Structure 1
Amino acid sequence: MKHLLRIIIVLGLSALAACTSTTPVATPTTPAQSSSNITIGLVISTLNNPFFVTLRDGAQRAADAAGVTLTIVDAQDDSAKMIAGIEDLITKKVNALIINPTDSDAVVPAIQKANEAG
């Protein structure tokens, strides 16, 4: 249940991050404190598209504000790189994954591995 709650929170943060303004915003002088060490993996299909660059930047701002570590993987529109990135994040034992697949069918085995890893 905790795992599902974390995924829902991360997806919500990602959705909010995608809708954020690109106008600079004053940041607090002290970072948000976190009671636990949470790491989220964000696997993006490509950073050659301005939309996904904005998504990455917004997700990073949201993660910083929440006191969460965000690890970003750019798959460069290559399913093999995406799968390798997901498997690397599984090995690093991230708490949650956010995946924007290059090929939704190709990443199914990697997502199954992530689910099995917990």
Structure 2
Amino acid sequence: MDKQKAGDALFDWFSKFTKNIDHSKILGRLIECPPDHAAHNRIMKKGYIMGVAMTANQLMGARPTPELSQYKIPGIEGLFLTGCTTHPGGLATLGGRASAMKIYKDFGIPYQKGFVSW
């Protein structure tokens, strides 16, 4: 099955659960598959949308390496790590928020200055 047909099938399945979404509402679309991701983003090796791989050696405090899992490079003051390849990983899975919280803590900035409690 090519990616356009797969996209149609997924959209048709999703539409069954909605009341007002159908093909007539779509103005444009982009359907990508793992080779497309890998071609335009070198972080997405083999198309892993979570940034590199979500394997056991990349989970929890091992991302990107155990030494770098606390959002800083040891021995370099003021240089912080953020993005999909840092803990917890995965593009939009709060990796930037966790890094920002570490920066706030290290610089003594109250969390209330930039974070909203829910």
TM normalised by structure 1 equals 0.23
- Higher helix fraction (1 or 2): 1
* Higher Rg of the two aligned structures: 2
- Higher strand fraction (1 or 2): 1
Q: Which structure has more RCO (C-alpha within 8 Å, separation ≥ 6)?
A: 1
